[in-house]
Structure 1
Amino acid sequence: MNLLSYKKAANFWTEALPLGNGRLGAMHFGGVEVDQFQLNEDTLWSGPPNREKQYDDRESLEKVRKLIDEENYEEAIDETKNMFGPFTQAYMPLGNLKIQYLHGDVARKYERTLNIEEAISSVKYTVGKVEYTREAFISYPHQVLAIQLTSSVEKSLNVNITLDSLLKYRTLNSEEEVVLQGICPEVCAPTYFHENEQPIIYGEFGETRAIHFEGRLGVVVEDGQVDSENGRLSIQNASKAVLYFSAATSFNGFDQLPGKYFGELTRKNEEILAKAMSFSYEQLKEEHVQDYQNLFKRVDFSLDYDKPQEELDTDDRVRKYGADDLGMSELLFQYGRYLLIASSREGTQPANLQGIWNDLTRAPWSSNYTLNINAEMNYWPAEVTNLAECHRPLLKAIEELSVNGEKMVNERYGLKGWTAHHNTDLWRHADPVGDDRYGDPVWAFWPMSGPWLCRHVWEYYSFSQDKAYLAEEAFPLMKGAADFCLDWLIEDENGYLITSPSTSPEHLFFADNGQKGSVTKGATMDLQIIWDLFTNCIEAAAVLDIDDAWVQQVKTAKERLHPMQIGKYGQLQEWLIDYEDVEPHHRHVSHLYGAYPGNQITEGPFMDAVKQSLNRRGDEGTGWSLGWKICLWARLKDGERVNELFKQLFNIVEAKREVFVGGGIYPNLLGAHPPFQIDGNFSYTAGVAEMIIQSHKGYVELLPALPSTWLKGSLTGIRVHGGFEVSVSWDKMQVSLLEVTCNTENPFIFKSSESVIVREEGKEDKRIDPVDGLIEIEMNKNQKYQFVFK
């Protein structure tokens, strides 16, 4: 089931259907009389790269540490604010492509769909005796949005097409083309709500330091006439028309000022359009589908269920059946993969807080990269669901961020290595953010982003076993982040290494002296992330045959990290001191990082404490928070609890976006924080994979967290740690068939309580018995193996 379908047009943005190729994004509304494609380009951000002042926080750092030791938490908060820096810049909307049909708005047989198997949106309806259709996709090979308009009766297509923007812009006409040119703001103030106001623009065209942009629309018609004037295209008496839209910006790199001239953008767009328009629509479509399916079709997910008899709109179907509709469970899993392909391709920017889709000049949280969970969560499904190429934009951004992060660490703290704080943006912002109006250390001062992001560079190696990547890209980044941690850690009164100052992101505590605090020492998440980084650095060094003084220093520091603790309620302690929670049901579960996405906690008392922490937090939460809990309960092997969380996630949040009214999904199935955040989609997809296959312990475990409603099904094409591709089928909640393709020299190990029959092409079947509950087999590279369970 790979189709979103509706019998009505979108009235709100959260009903529109997303298209993208990693660089260009569009939300397709599908109106009858007026259709709209809201447009984005991934490098269209406010600001140039700029830091207005130099920072030296060494004195404040020592003061904060002293105040924390004195348990003067309120003053520690105030002193920490002295270490704040500039806010990140904001992701901007490019504009709107509007198509006005001159046939009126009385239509019959309306149907609007998004086919995520082909990444194509379509609209079909009838006016009078004429059936009108429009079909759209965004091509990665050709870098254009292509829209085909057709009518069933010859010469019945009459439309006007315009481009506009919320930013400062102008429109121009050339022969059978319309052009949108504009500039972003140099500065975009912080915002946390929907304030869709015109931002301040400094200077006129050509005088600003901000990013310039151009969108260019061309058209090819069949037996009709095209006029281009007054900022619009008019098509009269045509039977078919194809629109081609291209966009370019003057972004020159994260550490360079943007270009100043529209001429270069015009040249790029004209070149792109000329090439794309030299192909027929069907040729473009065929190449687009082939390119897209090369990624999408690697994985298939199927559950056995009775299909609903009635035909319902996708959102109405979710409203009626919720998580009991296993077809929707399939669809939402693949939708997450679709969205990652659409918002993150090789050579593009990473998926941001909203993927690539934003229609507001004051987007929630600036639609930036929130590094204390959300940006990382976007990429949880990348490796496991066989989209490693889509992971590359994040890995490239981490490399760039490390450049600014190293400068920041040396300047602010006088330390070695690199890191970043709570947010980053197109310009690879690494400083803590905040001011007297908006800033709060509970979220603004969190210097653990670098170490967390290094989990992604390690995961890319762990799944691929690419030693050249490990040596040339991953290990230098990991080593730099570890250098920062080695310098940042301090010794406590018991000789353990801890962090200070430290926060558990976005969560407050009550101290024994009655003070409400956020800044303390030794937050559990800090120490888990550092343990994770040190562990991976040691393993990477072993793979690369490095055993020097630095490796020994990391090994020693890892052994001295303050151990995790179990608190008075049986929960995994969130801070070094067993404080009381200000919000016992807080949406963040930061101290459970060591269970997921980390693997420091895999069994025993600490795993029980993780479960108790989750029980105390409760099951309710915003969309992304539900996604993290789904992944955690899957890691805890509790499929029934995961299914209970599904019932909350499969909750339609009304399309008119409001802030903080409860999590779920919007009518277009995008994740609702609310407002819209795409991490809810990505974490669901990662969570489903985690329910069916786990490989974080050094061996593969099959069906660890199936709910009882998933009696029969299959998941094919999944990747696991160690360099293998795995497909599994099950019936009556028992594995029936396992297929493994070996992409490495490593032995394949999986958990099994029973013997299996191994089939390898060209060889006789072989029976293998488990040893200590595990089956291990040496495999030939690039060979496929079948394991039949009796």
Structure 2
Amino acid sequence: MDKQTNNEQPWSLWYKQPASCWEEALPVGNGRIGGMVFGDINQERIQLNEDTLWSGFPRDTNNYEALRYLKRVRELLADHKYVEAEQLVQSKMQGRNTESYQPLGDLWLKQTFDGGGEQEAAEYIRSLDLDQAIQSVRFRIGDTFYRRELFVSAVDQVLCVKYEAEGEGGLTIEASLTSPQPNELGSEKDRSLTLDGRCPTHVADNYWGDHPRAVQYESDRGVIFQARLAVLQGESAISTDQHNQHCMKVTHASSITLIFSASTSFKRFDKQPEGSVDELSEENDRILAAAAALGYEKFRERHIAEHQKMFRRVQLHLGETENGELPTDERLAAYKRSERDPGLEALYFQYGRYLLMASSRPGTQPANLQGIWNHRIQPPWNSDYTTNINTQMNYWPAELANLSECHEPLLTMIEELSESGSRTAAIHYGAEGWVAHHNVDLWRASTPTEGHPSWAFWPLGGVWLTQHLWEHYLYNPELAFLRDKAYPIMRGAALFCLDWLIETEDGYVMTSPSTSPENKFLTAEGEACSVAVSSAMDITLIRELFEHMLQAAKLLRTDEQLSVRIESALGMLPPLQIGASGMLQEWHHALEEQEPGHRHVSHLYGIYPGTAINREHTPELLEAGKLSLASRISNGGGHTGWSCAWLINLYARLGEPEQAYRFIHTLLARSTHPNLFDDHPPFQIDGNFGGTAGIAELLLQSHLDNIELLPALPEAWPTGYIRGLKARGGFEIDLNWADGKLIDALVRSTHGQNCVLSYGDMALVVRSAGGAVLDTSKPFPTVAGESYTVTLK
């Protein structure tokens, strides 16, 4: 057993003390089961989540009165009566809030040492190995070395904890399960503990309110769950505490292995979560028996192999650092003092990939506002799917950082939203297709929520989400996916847009009513308002969807009549407006900003993550966007974690590496907890994912029909390499650079598409696997599975 060496793995977080609060605990997960591990010496706490534990149940949240007021709202907006229109939207056209993601409970593991009482340990190290996805604690008491390690297997769907002791002292562990949900606890045959519980049927989001609002439970409704903790066969003496039937004790062992499983009654977003405890028990029996049959070593080996198959696709080195030997919290503190640490920045990138793997796997729910880690019954903003930026940002690194499988849960959610959203489109707006607004939950709520229209009323959430389908296709160009999954969903969103657009007297088609997510303007009378006509984001999103629809229909040779309608509407969309100050306007009409430093930069969507505003096709809009971005920042913008992450990606696309790097540093130094979780504040995981995407975007871009190598390399990373980034078109890219310049690259073709490469104005030499020099003056053909070397001419 490794006794006391420091954790020297480059992809590890490590600390010299246990976590003192939830934001210092270390996250583990397999996309479905999540745990936050605290690492206490005497009593370990593992806070537990399961991704389908939400409040509520399927119910009709549509507002059947909304359509009656749509015409009047549009009339008011045409007369520039913005405040009256906003009041009518809020009072008549919105609905109820989404439900909340819920905690399962806690696993407590009390360790008793020889001599009794609480003990102080020497040589304590708590770590999270990202490469193996294993959390561990090790320390010494007297002459005995203790080690525990914990992981959540995606292969076998079980959380596993193993305790080991080496020396004279043995192991005595008391295990117990608790939950903030109404629950029943019990033990079975002295070898397992069971916790049965039920989620609330409603949790009102009142995060910023003065008083807690009701958490409602109904005895016969809501998701039920069962958690089961078992001891593997072959361990030492096991007993149930005679005085506490909910505590299981394992005594006088040199090694103890516990496995944990959880099952719920959730079936599907539109199915009532009906089921029996017996059914859940049978599922847990099956999962735990299969894991136990493998034995610990095989079980652990399977977990590591499956994890590394994905995690090791990408390797990143950004330079050496003097602080690399420091514990992570001390390293972060030094970074906040402006001590240079490119290794910490590379670790942050890989941590983002780890978090996506841990919170979003095929067959699971998508990563929500907190991934899958939440300890509150009433979490901030319900810990839901906020689809006016946050949910999308969670998946910005999915393709580029070579984790396409992790994208699948979001794509599945979009497909489900297209079902629930079709009723909302018809009932709320009398429109074809489907619609989704700014908040979504497990039950795929597609309606506007209650609250201020600046955030509650935004019918373009679904349109933004469809861009993820298109992006997935671009990175993995398979016509079957486009035909069978992406195109039908995109088509429904396009049909909604065609009905949502209204023709105005000047010959344009506009969105009305329109908001720019969470922002407000000032009316001529100086009143703050959010509802107007045709926000820049609305028009940019619709334009890109229409363009993607035309490309897809051409590839699939389908929908000629619909393509004619889309092409006609596309030609009537209003151009984005540049104001008198030279900045890109957030709304079609010139309206004064109510908060010049607002955290959202929705009008700049076309720069990133969109592509409509770029140096090749729209240089004037790009310059206007740069001015708008500079103004937003100078007035305090980018002050939340996720907003700061957006700035990194925007400056990467603008080709301004030093500005982008400035916000990488800001994100880590100002908006990062000791466990490297993003601090909004409070914790939201989107900043982690946005930061990961931004680091990759500085090194590789492929949004303009060519693959740009090192398009925005900052001075802070003069020498380094990256392996395995993905590019649109179906390519994997390796890059080596020194002294701020490209040395060479390797391109692996995954789909046999034509390839275009660029590195600034420098000429490149591309050779096939056989050594033949290829003509790069035009797109060169590739063969799926083959690699191509790239050097400077």
The one-letter code of the counterpart of 2:128 is: L
Q: CA deviation at 1:620?
A: 3.9
Aligned equivalents of 1:729, 1:155: Cα separation in 2:
51
Does residue 277 (structure 1) correspond to residue 272 (structure 2)? The answer is no
2:19, 2:762 → 1: CA distance?
A: 53
> The residue matched to 1:36 in structure 2 has which SS?
strand
> Whole-Å Cα distance in 1 between the matches of residues 104 and 212 of structure 2?
15
- The equivalent of 2:737 in structure 1 is 730
From 292, 299, 318, give the equivalent of 1:303: 318
Q: Can you list the C-alpha shifts for 1:691-725, whole angstroms capped at 9, x where unaligned?
A: 01111000011111111111011111111111111
Kept after mapping to 2: 8 A contact 1:197/1:361 = no
Is 2:772 the partner of 1:756? no
1:417 is the counterpart of 2:446: no
Deviations 1:354-408 (A, max 9, x none): 0000000010000000000000110000011111111000001100011000011
Question: In the alignment, is residue 374 of structure 1 matched against residue 415 of structure 2?
Answer: no
Q: How does 1:498-647 map to 2 (within 5 A)?
A: 498-546=510-558, 548-603=560-615, 604-618=619-633, 620-647=638-665
State whether structure 2 residue 666 is matched by structure 1 residue 648.
yes
CA contact (8 A) 2:203 2:216 kept: no
Residue ranges of structure 2 left out of the alignment (5+ in a row) = 1-9
Greater shift after overlay, 584-593 or 50-59?
A: 50-59
TM-superposed deviation, 1:547: 5.3
Q: Answer with 177-186 or 514-523: which moved more.
A: 514-523
Q: Does 2:751 match 1:778? A: no
Query: Structure 1 residue 754: deviation in Å?
Result: 3.6
1:745: which partner in 2? 752
Q: Which residue of 1 aligns with 2:329?
A: 315
Using the alignment, how far apart are the partners of 1:758 and 1:416 within structure 2? 49
Change (3 A) 1:51 1:719: same
Instruction: Find the residue that maps to 1:354 and give its secondary structure.
Output: coil
What is aligned with 1:289?
304
SS of equivalent to 1:406: helix
Distance 1:274 1:580 in 2: 64
1:17, distance to aligned residue in structure 2 (A): 0.3
Asked if 1:449 corresponds to 2:488, the answer is no
Deviation sequence 1:267-313 (CA, Å, 0-9, x none):
0001100110112211111100100111111111111223337x422
Deviations 1:414-437 (A, max 9, x none): 110101001000000000000xxx
Distance 1:500 1:50 in 2: 28
- C-alpha spacing 1:193/1:119, structure 2 compared with 1 (3 Å): farther
Mapped to 1, the partners of 2:212 and 2:292 lie a distance apart of 36
What letter matches 2:703 in structure 1? H
Q: Give the residue type in structure 2 aligned to 1:413.
A: Y
CA root-mean-square deviation: 1.6
The 3-state SS of whatever aligns with 1:787 is strand
Partner residue of 1:692?
A: 699
Are 1:233 and 2:241 counterparts?
no
The answer to which of 125-134 and 189-198 deviates more is 189-198
Residue among 147, 157, 160 paired with 2:174? 160
| Alignment partner of 1:664 is 2:671 | yes
Post-superposition CA distance 1:508-547 (Å, at most 9, x none): 1012232221011111000000001001101111111225
1:184-195 matches, cutoff 5 A? 184-193=199-208
CA distance in 2, matches of 1:155, 1:196: 50
Cross-structure match for 1:494:
506
User: Quick one: distance in 2 between partners of 1:500 and 1:561?
Assistant: 13
Of 38, 51, 73, 1:64 maps to: 73
C-alpha spacing 1:729/1:123, structure 2 compared with 1 (3 Å)? same
Superposed CA deviations along residues 606-653 of structure 1, whole A, max 9, x for unmatched, are 1111111110011641000001111000000111001111221112xx
1:571-594 deviations in whole A, cap 9, x for unaligned? 111011111111111100000011
**CA–CA separation in structure 2 for the residues paired with 1:223 and 1:534:** 62
1:757 to partner: Cα distance = 3.4
Identity of aligned residues (%): 42
* Structure 2: distance between partners of 1:449 and 1:749: 33
- Structure 1 segment 80-229 matched on structure 2, within 5 A: 80-81=89-90, 82-103=92-113, 104-153=118-167, 156-175=170-189, 176-193=191-208, 200-204=215-219, 208-220=220-232, 224-229=236-241
In structure 1, the partner of 2:23 is 14
Displacement of 1:744:
2.3
Q: Distance in 2 between matches of 1:506 and 1:133?
A: 48
Matched, 1:3 2:12: yes
> 1:746 Cα shift?
2.1
Q: Structure 1's 198 and 244: CA in aligned 2 closer, same or farther, altered over 3 A?
A: farther
**Which residue of 1 is the match for residue 88 of structure 2?**
79
- 1:332-411 to 2 correspondences below 5 Å: 332-411=348-427
What is residue 4 of structure 2 aligned with on the other side?
Answer: none
The alpha carbon displacement at 1:105 in A equals: 2.8
Asked whether the equivalents of residues 235 and 256 of structure 2 are also in contact (C-alpha less than 8 Å), the reply is no
Out of 236-245 and 612-621, give the one that drifted further.
612-621
Counterparts in 2 of 1:461 and 1:286: CA distance versus 1, 3 Å:
same
**Count of aligned positions:** 766
8 A Cα contact 2:514 2:531, kept in partner: yes
Q: How much has 1:199 moved relative to structure 2?
A: 6.1
CA distance in 2, matches of 1:481, 1:52: 20
Cα displacement string for residues 644-694 of structure 1 (whole angstroms, at most 9, x for unaligned residues) = 11221112xxxxxxxxxxx51101001110111100000011111110111
Deviation at 1:162, TM superposition (A): 0.5
> Is contact 1:185–1:199 with CA below 8 Å preserved after alignment?
no
Structure 1 SS opposite 2:537: helix
Question: In 1, are the aligned partners of 2:66 and 2:94 still within 8 Å (CA)?
Answer: no
Q: Is this contact kept in 2: 1:505–1:588, CA < 8 A?
A: yes
Q: What is the DSSP-based 3-state SS (H/G/I as helix, E as strand, rest coil) of the residue aligned with 1:263?
A: helix
- Contact 2:204–2:215 (CA under 8 A) maintained in structure 1: no
Q: Is the 8 Å Cα contact of residues 344 and 390 (structure 1) preserved in structure 2?
A: yes
Partner of 1:655: none
- Contact map agreement 2:204 2:213 (CA 8 A) in 1: no
Amino acid at match of 2:137: V
Contact 2:106 2:178 in 1 (8 A): yes
Match of 2:683 in 1: 676
CA distance in 2, matches of 1:162, 1:404: 40
Describe the SS at the equivalent of 2:195.
strand
TM-score by length of 1: 0.95
Q: Residue 381 of structure 2 aligns to a residue in which SS? A: helix
- Once the two structures are superposed, residues 91-122 of structure 1 have per-residue CA deviations (whole angstroms, 9 ceiling, x without a partner) of 00000000111122311111000000110000
Mapped partners of 1:501, 1:306: distance in 2 = 52
Structure 1 position 223, deviation (Å):
5.8
Distance 1:735 1:555 in 2: 42
Contact 1:15 1:667 survives alignment (8 Å):
yes
Please report how far the alpha carbon of residue 479 of structure 1 lies from its aligned counterpart in structure 2 after TM superposition. Answer: 0.5
Distance 2:299 2:208 in 1: 39
Query: TM-score, normalising length from structure 2?
Result: 0.94
Instruction: Determine if contact 1:491/1:498 at 8 Å carries over to the other structure.
Output: yes
- Does structure 2 retain, via aligned residues, the 8 Å contact 1:423–1:430? yes
Given residue 122 of structure 2, which amino acid in structure 1 is its aligned partner? Answer: R
Question: What is the letter of the counterpart of residue 77 of structure 2?
Answer: I
Q: Tell me the CA shift for residue 764 of structure 1.
A: 3.4
SS in 1 for 2:215: coil
Contact residue 756 and residue 767 of structure 1 kept, 8 A: no
Letter of the aligned partner of 1:680 in structure 2?
Answer: G
Distance (whole Å) between structure 2 residues aligned to residue 73 and residue 778 of structure 1: 54
Separation in structure 1 between the aligned mates of residue 390 and residue 460 of structure 2, nearest angstrom: 14
Which residue identity does 2:158 align to in structure 1?
Answer: V
Aligned partner of 1:737: which letter?
Answer: D
Asked whether the equivalents of residues 146 and 245 of structure 1 are also in contact (C-alpha less than 8 Å), the reply is yes
Q: d(CA) in 2 for partners of 1:418 and 1:203?
A: 32
Aligned-partner SS, 1:278? helix
